[in-house]
Amino acid sequence: MTLMNPPLGSAVAAVCAGFGRDVDENLAQIADLIEQARAEGVSLLALPEACLGGYLSVLGAGRDGSHDEQPEDLPPVMDIDGPELRCVAALAGDMTVVVGLCESDGSDRYNTAAIVSGDGVLGLHRKVHQPLGESMFYAAGSEFGCVDTPAGRVGALICYDKAFPEAARSLAVDGAEVIACISAWPASRTATGDSIAEDRWTKRFNLFDAARALENQVVWLAANQHGTFGKLRFVANAKVVGPGGDVLATTGIHSGMAVAEIDVPSALETARRAMFHLRDRRPDAYGAVTAATLQEPAHA
């Protein structure tokens, strides 16, 4: 669902599209999406996780030891100052774009979201929370933080990060006005629904988006991959969620771009006028949240 021709700079958007290993093809698709977004007045665009080089084709053994497939290949490693991100930055121009890739610090591979504009790379987020067997192929990031962009103060998360309230809250207390959570979120691999719309992981994907936006009173962009890649079938449902938890635009189960015209500072001011969740927090009462370490249940 898109809104018709909003004035330049007054809209935000999240993409649902499929991306594979062909990087040149990925860049051509990104160029088309940025052009479409610019025509719709978008100032901040979120592209899916791993849209440069594709995601994993399987998720490995998982913590339960089942599904012990291995991917045939891995996403290509890219440099943060490399030609791929330079290309995306040039395409972005005065727009701010959140883009997913696999990058390395010289020794470890990371599943990374880069926030870029025509000025280059403004900020990075390395995925912290790793589902199933993802840790066999990527190292985990260790921090959350926002950056100031032409579109406002923006924080990024990747996929499973959004299942953890502390991740989005860390960005909110760092001043995030918009949180872009980019994903390659697949349907359930056990008890899979006949319809993507009814799959239990589709429902959870959508629930997390609304909850994280509402509890932090931020604008939330959820991008996602579409279609299938290897053994994975993605749940789609890219969306823009307002600071009241209301879905302003969504692609549903289809590919496309969810675009919403919104004055972000005004929307946040309205949402936070009476009940301001960040102001009303009681951090002194939450010590157990960060102090406690969950003990794994014993297995026979």
DSSP letters, the chain, are ---S-PPTTSEEEEEEE---S-HHHHHHHHHHHHHHHHHTTEEEEEPPTTTBT---SS--S-TTS------SS-PPEE-TTSHHHHHHHHHHTTSEEEEEEEEESSSSEEEEEEEEETTEEEEEEE-----TTGGGT-B------EEEETTEEEEEEEGGGGG-HHHHHHHHHTT-SEEEEEE--BPPSSS--SSGGG-HHHHHHHHHHHHHHHHHT-EEEEEEE-SEETTEEB----EEE-TTS-EEEE-TTSSEEEEEE--HHHHHHHHHSS--TTTT--GGG-HHHHH--PPPPP--
Q: What is the pLDDT of residue 59?
A: 83
Is residue 290 situated within a structural domain? no
What is residue 155's predicted lDDT score, i.e. its pLDDT? Answer: 98
Residue 264 lies in a domain: yes
Residue 299 has pLDDT above 50, yes or no: no
Predicted pLDDT at 19: 98
Give domain status of residue 83, yes or no.
yes
| pLDDT higher than threshold 60 for residue 99 | yes
- Checking DSSP bridges between strand 239-241 and strand 219-225, what pairing results, if any? antiparallel
Specify the range with the lowest mean pLDDT, choosing from 16-30, 177-191, 201-215.
Answer: 177-191
Number of domains making up the chain: 1
Residue 168, in any domain of the structure: yes
122, pLDDT greater than 70: yes
The proportion of the chain whose per-residue pLDDT surpasses 90, expressed as a percent, equals: 82
Look at residue 93 in the predicted model and tell me its pLDDT: 97
* Mean pLDDT computed over every residue of the chain: 92
User: What integer pLDDT is reported at residue 300 of this predicted model?
Assistant: 40
Residue 138 to residue 142: CA distance in whole angstroms: 13
Q: Cβ(57)–Cβ(232) under 8 Å? A: yes
Task: State which amino acid sits at residue 160.
Answer: Y
Distance CA 65, CA 264 (A): 45
pLDDT of 178 strictly over 90: yes
Q: How confident is the model at residue 7 (pLDDT cuts 50, 70, 90)?
A: very low
Whether 54 maps to a domain, the answer reads yes
Cα maximum dimension of the chain: 62
Interatomic CA distance for residues 72 and 274, integer angstroms: 53
Write out pLDDT tens, residues 235-264: 999 999 999 999 999 999 999 999 999 999
Model confidence, pTM: 0.92
Report the half-sphere exposure of 266 (CA within 13 A, side-chain side): 4
Average pLDDT over residues 177-182: 98
**CATH code, 47:** 3.60.110.10
What is the predicted pLDDT for the residue at 132? 85
Residue 282 located in a structural domain: no
Domain range holding 21?
11-58+71-277
